Amino acid sequence: MGVAFLVFACAACGAPAQADPALVMSVPARWNGTEYVADPAASREPLCERCARQLKARFERDGLPIPAVVREPGYFARAYHGAADEQDL
């Protein structure tokens, strides 16, 4: 499949990661010269799978709205491992 993966440093932990840019979970953050810090006014920066899973768990615990695409079965496989669901095409 021709999904071009985005390679980035996670906005939360700084780990190198890659994901589908159309599906990757992101948070408003800015680079302070050393690391990304949360900033509601900043542009959205992508998260690695580990941090995205933690964020989703926190949203579930706090009852915050989770984007529909993230709630779909197989989201993490598709977003972070390129397991494209060809039935969607």
| Residue number with CB closer to Zn ion (10 or 19) | 10
12 binds Zn ion (CB under 5 A): yes
51 binds Zn ion (CB under 5 A): yes
| Residue number with CB closer to Zn ion (1 or 18) | 18
Burial classification of residue 58, based on how many CB atoms lie within 10 Å of its CB (0-12 exposed, 13-18 middle, 19 or more buried): exposed
Quote the tokens at residue 74: 């197989």
**Residues near 41 by beta carbon (within 8 Å), at least 6 away in sequence:** 28
Q: Please tell me the count of residues contacting Zn ion according to CB under 5 A.
A: 6
Q: Which residues bind Zn ion (CB under 5 A)?
A: 10, 12-13, 15, 48, 51
